[in-house]
Structure 1
Amino acid sequence: MNAQLPGFEQKDPATARILLVDDDLRLLESLRHLLELHDFRADTAGGGRAAMEKLRERSYDLVLLDLGMPEVGGRDVLRFMATEQMSCITVVVSANGSVQDMTAALRDGAYDYLRKPYVPEELLATVNNALRRKHLEDMNCCMRGRLERSERLHRMIVNNSPDIVFILDKAGHFSFINSRVTDLLGYERESLLGSPLLALVDDEDREKAAYFLGQVMRRHRDVRSVELILRPSGRVHCRRHFEVAVWPQQEEHEETPFGDMTHSIYGTARDITERKESEAFITFQAYHDLLTRLPNRALFKDRVSLAIAHARRRGTRLAVMFIDLNRFKIINDSLGHAIGDRLLQSVSQRLLATIRQGDTLSRFGGDEFTLLLPEVQDAEAAGQVAQKLLDSLSRPFQIGVHELYVGASIGIAIYPEQGQGLDELIRHADIAMYREKRSRKNGFRVFNPEMGSDAIPLQLEQDFRRALERREFQLVYQPQVDTAQCRLAGVEALVRWPHPVHGVLGPVDFIPLAEETRLILELDHLTLRTALEEVGRCHLNGHAGMRLAVNLSPIVVEHDDFVDRVKQSIADSGFPPHLLELEITESLLMSDGRATVEKLGALSSLGIRFAIDDFGTGYSSLSYLQKLPVHTLKIDRSFTQGISAREDEACLVNAIVSMAKGLQMGVVTEGVETLVQMDYLRSLGCPMMQGYLFGRPATLSDIIERPLSLPSAGRFPGQVDELPEQV
């Protein structure tokens, strides 16, 4: 029968690998037969040397070994198995029954000892027990191997985790920390063992970390986390943000791959620096202008709202300024957006250097800036700040090879006098800026209630676009008189806008808006085509020699299709090119000179003449006057007003006329209103004039039908009768 211990499930006997070793072949065969009767399968070896060969060839669970064998005995086999670290169990079956032999065999590694002749039942029981032990040892070895592999896997996962993994003792000191701390913070993990977690926390978050640890030291069931800034070692130079998560404390005496977790805290620290930087960048994008890095409109409004609340509580004033750059669009269109962007950055830096640390400068959009002065004494103090801003912009900006000039128009609104709320203050500052911009000068203006009746820029822009679509603009003409020959030499086309609410508006009321919105392109071309058609009809009705002067914005001249559109307008109207004079401003000379020369030269080759309007009021360069195909200088009305009976009060006019003669250019004087002015100009040899003395701007039909008669006046000594060709 098959002996078996209670509670042990013996594996299938046929699967057991057994080796029988004995030099008595008859006894060896009898033993094999006995085992086969009980379903065991066994190999046999007729001596110690044969046994060693068998053991080298395959592994066995059990070896039944005789001690007394010639040449190679049983103890030699036992020592061989020990040397080769074979895991099979050995039961000695020997006739040698002395205590010394038994002790020696057991010392050499035998599991049990049976004497010959053996009792079959005793031998079978011993075999079963030995196989059971071998089975248990194999299972234990397998489990131990699995545990070791599991522990290695856990350690590999922990040490290669992207997070810092740590264990704290009940005092909050590190009892374990993985090697990730070296990669992220530069510390050697061994140097941190026994150190408190708080030693790694940045001073900014030390109080928050201490409170958090105090909470998690108490038993809790939920995972708790906190965001902390951890201080790196000297090898790492930047602070890093971490999300520290702590798991519930382990139960008493619970064992883990990392040892006893009694009263310990297991946690992780995940590096969230990139996420925090991304969040900060997104927040920065939401509230800042990326080009200038100034606060944007949203952040500016938020700060103004807070400043209003603060001023209301303390009973103080604040100022809001609306700053709009002058001439920026000309530079941006002429030199490109890259230069324009660099100019905006330089402007913002210069403005920042002018204001106080507590003030808020923002880019409101395009070339518009806003400024918040949280505490100002009065409008005069705000004006002083505005003047400092204008002074800072008066110096040229060196952008690459370009020396650029920009100015600004500034509107100011004071809380609480000019507005009680955010939108009201910004709107009133915008209106004041727009009123100042209409003056076409660099300056500032404080809002007053009378400006409230002005057309709001947005509404005016909408009305302007609608007027263009419906062609509601009208042309009037200013006579240009040759006083030497007492004849009407030509007319200058002037545009008027009959606004349905504000009445008839002159150019000063809407040209700045047209230039800002670039609607001036359509307006000037519409004006040119209409004037060519109307004056062209006069040519057919007996006034063939009448000249036409049309004023053009620099934006129109600088546009790429300027030459083509002028040519097309002349071709469509059939107007004689040599009777057309296009008036440009001195500001155009400050832009791209080469492109301007090429464009004006292309039109001049057709016979079209060019005049510098309001000469002397801008920043003219005499070298450009020689390069450009300019035929006429128009003396501004501000110089004409200085002419009186005393000749020394008109020195500027004298200088301009002399310069024009030297450059072989014609001269037209604007703003002639008195006989004294007319006669003095004639005495200088400058007979081409226009002004109220000869009639106010009117329709072309009114001018033609009205007979021309010059007022009589005395003659100045030295008056020149021979005049150069004019206009």
Structure 2
Amino acid sequence: MNALAKQPSILVVDDEPLLRNSLCSILDYHGFPSSAADGGKSAIAALKNNAYEVVLLDLCMPDVDGHQIMNWIIENQLDTCIIVVSGDTSIDSAISALRQGASDFLRKPYEQDELILKIRNALTKRRLEKENKTINLQLKESERWYRYMVNSSPDFIYTLDANGYCTFCNDRVKTLLGYNKEDVIGQHFSTLIHAEDIDIAQFAIQERRSGNRAACNMEIRIPHGSEATMLTLEFNAFGIYDDGIDGSPKYVGTYGVAKDVTERKKAGELILYQAYHDLLTGLANRKLFKDRLEVAIAQAKRYKHTLALMFLDLDRFKVVNDTLGHVVGDHLLIEVAARLQKCLREGDTLGRQGGDEFTLLLPQIVNKESAVSTAEKIIKACGEPFYIDGNELYVPMSIGIAFYPENGENVDTLIKNADIAMYDSKAKGRNRFQLYSASMNTKFDERFSLEVQMHKALERDEFQMVYQPQINVVTGKISGVEALIRWASPLLGHLSPIEFIPLAEETGLIIPISEFVLRTVFQQAKLWQQTNLLPERIAINISSRHLEQENFVSFLAELLLEFKLDGSIFELEITESILLNDGDDIIEKLHLISSMGMKISLDDFGTGYSSLSYIKKFPIDTIKIDRSFMHGLSSDSEDESIVTAICTLAKSLHLNLIAEGVEESGQYRVLQSLQCNEAQGFLFSKPLSAHDTTELLLKNLPLGPQHLRPQHCFNL
């Protein structure tokens, strides 16, 4: 049943019952299911209700003849195959039937084999026509989809003829390149290309090769049609070939696809730029600068000429950053970079090493004087004020200069030696330049060795605390002690703070050192408290870098809590340089410290700005007169005038006053006459170890000159 169901159905139309039944029997015998109609009307009714693959049609019927049925089939566009089976043997009848739409004509009487053959031929033809129709529909659909995809593609698609003229392009040409299709088709491809890329375009756009050798990912610049912008397109193309007359392939054109990679190209260029440039100033970064320096050294070596390398560092930049904030600091660095570039020649390379450090390469100089002249120009330019966000700023420059080949024959050596010269310049007063000399290496090595040993000193507990008594000028008795740090290095010997504290500040080691000082002094204060020997006040010097730490105040609070000490025991000594950073943060911290009961002492007063605004703005309790004014106190009227003014100021502002560096009785008598509150110095005692200070506190003896006897003088 299934096999029969798959066979094509046939309608037999004949008004003669015997012929009709005979045909149906023959068809059934050969496996063709059939239906019968006894005339034209019944045939039309059957065709209305059923679909037939083949209609075997007799022409001569009484009611509706075969010609009328064929006309009805054509008018109603029925999909069926008509084979006329007629007793009319005239040729005209056959021709008329075929013209009217019949696919074949069979005369009665017919041979059974001939009938079956014609039916099979008709069915085969019908099947082939259907397949061909299906293929054509698929081709049309495929073409429609292809055109849709081509015109909807984000890429530019084109074909060229063998001479390079455009024969097709998709709609993307308008949105991407700014051209209408009709303006591009028929034009030579070279009319679209940037002039500098014409040569490479010959291979990438008008590609003749195919397969693996075809053009792939070739980047070409194309101007946008309506804008003054340049696009970068990535081309993939291959040659199109037909069979030639002799059978060999003949090149007929090119098929290509171009992808817009402009943004990707820009992103790549930006990434490359960022990899070799400082993002803040736009100057060469370390990597690019070293590359340029390597090239310059190679050229200098080849052509036997000299080059100069400068290491530049802004003086007092940290003050600007800490006082006005990093935004102003960044703007300042941008302005400095712009001002430096105005001092340079074409071919010089200015780079930013990081922070406030710059490097400058002068690749060809006639002599050292040329580099010196540039350095002088830079110092003069940077000596002028910078106006940043309403602030007038002065940030002079320190410069170190090294020369190739005299001061080094490779990149690292030249940079190191220029850096050493720059530090030497800072050490000699800043705002100047210094030429490198070999003797500087010794100082640099000593400095490096000192830093290494300082790290080890923290690990080995080599730092010690000593205490210098502070004397009440009226009674001569101890009113307090100042805690001072000393370093007993097994390698370097005994070092005073002036020998290592500046380097500790610079390297950041001052933070752990300062924490050691505070913890040690608090611990000693606790021991004195337990033995009822606690002096009225213990003064501790505070590093500006430690004070700037966010956790400084909380660190003090934790120490007070840990050792169960009252804050009024301690006086923190700060320098005027801290007050220069008069940001709200420093003011807030000092007020918090004051609220904990601790006193604030202003150290080295008279040597800096000594501004009254500081004293009004900050919670200052004590002023310490710098030791430099003590030397001429009893013999130099100018020193005496300054000390007199400071004493008057302290008295009027109700501030405690301590004079440092008192070494002679005459100085002491002047301080008494000026009603200075306290004094400290070698006249009374040198700094003492904790043990010796404890003994001194036990004796509780007056230490003023009128009370001192040789045995009372303590030495460390």
| Coarse TM-score class (shorter-chain normalised) | 0.7 to 0.9
Q: Which moved more, 1:352-361 or 1:285-294?
A: 285-294
Q: 2:394 and 2:671 mapped to 1: Cα distance?
A: 35
Q: Partner residue of 2:164?
A: 172
Q: Partner residue of 2:121?
A: 129
* TM-score calculated relative to the size of structure 2: 0.81
Residue identity matched to 1:493: A
| Superposition deviation, residue 274 in structure 1 | 4.8
Residue identity matched to 1:88: T
| Superposition deviation, residue 434 in structure 1 | 4.0
- Judged with a 3 Å threshold, the aligned counterparts in structure 2 of structure 1 residues 60 and 538 are, in CA distance, closer, same or farther, namely closer
Could you tell me the percent identity over the aligned residues?
37
Q: Partner residue of 2:713?
A: none
Q: Partner residue of 2:48?
A: 56
Residue-by-residue CA offset, 1:264-286 (whole Å, 9 max, x unaligned): 12232234445434543443454
**Residue 199 of structure 2 is aligned to residue 207 of structure 1:** yes
Q: Partner residue of 2:188?
A: 196
| Superposition deviation, residue 582 in structure 1 | 1.6
Q: Partner residue of 1:410?
A: 398
Q: Partner residue of 1:267?
A: 256
Q: Partner residue of 2:547?
A: 557
- Judged with a 3 Å threshold, the aligned counterparts in structure 2 of structure 1 residues 576 and 247 are, in CA distance, closer, same or farther, namely closer
Residue identity matched to 2:291: D
Q: Partner residue of 2:622?
A: 632
Instruction: Please show how residues 174-253 of structure 1 align to structure 2 within 5 Å.
Output: 174-210=166-202, 212=204, 216-217=207-208, 222-234=213-225, 239-252=230-243
Q: 2:170 and 2:632 mapped to 1: Cα distance?
A: 89
**Residue 332 of structure 2 is aligned to residue 347 of structure 1:** yes
Which one of 5, 19, 27 corresponds to residue 11 of structure 2?
Answer: 19
**Residue 286 of structure 2 is aligned to residue 297 of structure 1:** yes
Instruction: Please show how residues 64-103 of structure 1 align to structure 2 within 5 Å.
Output: 64-96=56-88, 101-103=93-95
| Superposition deviation, residue 170 in structure 1 | 1.5
Q: 2:336 and 2:379 mapped to 1: Cα distance?
A: 11
- Judged with a 3 Å threshold, the aligned counterparts in structure 2 of structure 1 residues 691 and 169 are, in CA distance, closer, same or farther, namely farther
Q: Which moved more, 1:526-535 or 1:69-78?
A: 526-535
**Residue 485 of structure 2 is aligned to residue 495 of structure 1:** yes
Residue identity matched to 1:556: H
Q: 1:439 and 1:530 mapped to 2: Cα distance?
A: 35
Q: 2:21 and 2:510 mapped to 1: Cα distance?
A: 121
**Residue 576 of structure 2 is aligned to residue 581 of structure 1:** no
> Does the 8 A contact of 1:165 with 1:269 survive in 2?
yes
Residue identity matched to 1:552: I
Residue identity matched to 1:44: A
Q: Secondary structure at the match of 1:614?
A: strand
Q: 1:478 and 1:465 mapped to 2: Cα distance?
A: 26
Q: Partner residue of 1:41?
A: 33
| Superposition deviation, residue 583 in structure 1 | 0.9
| Superposition deviation, residue 584 in structure 1 | 0.8
Q: Partner residue of 1:31?
A: 23
Q: Which moved more, 1:702-711 or 1:577-586?
A: 702-711
Q: Partner residue of 1:610?
A: 600
Residue-by-residue CA offset, 1:417-466 (whole Å, 9 max, x unaligned): 43332111222233344445567966655433332112556654443222
Q: Partner residue of 2:501?
A: 511
> Does the 8 A contact of 2:286 with 2:351 survive in 1?
yes
Q: 2:561 and 2:113 mapped to 1: Cα distance?
A: 131
Q: 1:286 and 1:252 mapped to 2: Cα distance?
A: 53
Q: Which moved more, 1:270-279 or 1:191-200?
A: 270-279
Q: Secondary structure at the match of 1:142?
A: helix
- Judged with a 3 Å threshold, the aligned counterparts in structure 2 of structure 1 residues 47 and 134 are, in CA distance, closer, same or farther, namely same
Q: Secondary structure at the match of 2:243?
A: coil
> Does the 8 A contact of 1:354 with 1:388 survive in 2?
no
Q: Secondary structure at the match of 1:418?
A: coil
> Does the 8 A contact of 1:382 with 1:412 survive in 2?
no
Residue-by-residue CA offset, 1:539-578 (whole Å, 9 max, x unaligned): 9999765753321112222334433443554566687755
| Superposition deviation, residue 349 in structure 1 | 0.9
Instruction: Please show how residues 465-504 of structure 1 align to structure 2 within 5 Å.
Output: 465-477=455-467, 480=470, 489-504=479-494
- Judged with a 3 Å threshold, the aligned counterparts in structure 2 of structure 1 residues 496 and 305 are, in CA distance, closer, same or farther, namely farther
- Judged with a 3 Å threshold, the aligned counterparts in structure 2 of structure 1 residues 295 and 324 are, in CA distance, closer, same or farther, namely same
Which one of 318, 323, 347 corresponds to residue 328 of structure 1?
Answer: 318
Q: Secondary structure at the match of 1:525?
A: helix
> Does the 8 A contact of 2:220 with 2:232 survive in 1?
yes
Residue identity matched to 1:555: R
**Residue 127 of structure 2 is aligned to residue 142 of structure 1:** no
Q: 2:250 and 2:70 mapped to 1: Cα distance?
A: 44
Residue identity matched to 1:473: F
Q: Partner residue of 1:525?
A: 515
- Judged with a 3 Å threshold, the aligned counterparts in structure 2 of structure 1 residues 181 and 280 are, in CA distance, closer, same or farther, namely same
Q: Which moved more, 1:544-553 or 1:646-655?
A: 646-655
| Superposition deviation, residue 232 in structure 1 | 4.7
Q: Partner residue of 1:716?
A: none
Q: 2:59 and 2:194 mapped to 1: Cα distance?
A: 75
Residue-by-residue CA offset, 1:172-217 (whole Å, 9 max, x unaligned): 2222233344444344444322223333333443333246568x44
Residue identity matched to 1:588: I
- Judged with a 3 Å threshold, the aligned counterparts in structure 2 of structure 1 residues 168 and 621 are, in CA distance, closer, same or farther, namely farther
| Superposition deviation, residue 480 in structure 1 | 4.5
Q: Which moved more, 1:690-699 or 1:270-279?
A: 690-699
> Does the 8 A contact of 2:317 with 2:329 survive in 1?
no
| Superposition deviation, residue 63 in structure 1 | 2.1
Q: 2:163 and 2:334 mapped to 1: Cα distance?
A: 53
Instruction: Please show how residues 395-474 of structure 1 align to structure 2 within 5 Å.
Output: 395=386, 397-398=388-389, 407=395, 410-416=398-404, 417-435=406-424, 445-456=434-445, 460-474=450-464
> Does the 8 A contact of 2:208 with 2:238 survive in 1?
no
Q: 1:707 and 1:210 mapped to 2: Cα distance?
A: 103
Aligned residues: 687
Residue identity matched to 1:231: I
Q: 1:325 and 1:443 mapped to 2: Cα distance?
A: 10
Gaps of at least 5 residues in structure 2 are: 707-716
Residue identity matched to 2:500: F
Q: Secondary structure at the match of 2:47?
A: helix
> Does the 8 A contact of 1:431 with 1:447 survive in 2?
yes
| Superposition deviation, residue 299 in structure 1 | 2.4
Q: Partner residue of 2:714?
A: none
Gaps of at least 5 residues in structure 1 are: 1-10, 255-259, 712-727
Residue identity matched to 1:128: R
Q: Secondary structure at the match of 1:231?
A: strand
| Superposition deviation, residue 409 in structure 1 | 6.7
Q: 1:34 and 1:574 mapped to 2: Cα distance?
A: 124
Q: 1:227 and 1:510 mapped to 2: Cα distance?
A: 62
**Residue 296 of structure 2 is aligned to residue 307 of structure 1:** yes
> Does the 8 A contact of 1:533 with 1:573 survive in 2?
yes
Q: 2:77 and 2:106 mapped to 1: Cα distance?
A: 23
| Superposition deviation, residue 127 in structure 1 | 3.0
Q: Secondary structure at the match of 1:16?
A: coil
Q: Secondary structure at the match of 1:264?
A: strand
| Superposition deviation, residue 520 in structure 1 | 1.8
Q: 1:40 and 1:572 mapped to 2: Cα distance?
A: 111
Instruction: Please show how residues 155-166 of structure 1 align to structure 2 within 5 Å.
Output: 155-166=147-158
- Judged with a 3 Å threshold, the aligned counterparts in structure 2 of structure 1 residues 134 and 530 are, in CA distance, closer, same or farther, namely closer
RMSD: 4.4
Q: 2:33 and 2:596 mapped to 1: Cα distance?
A: 121
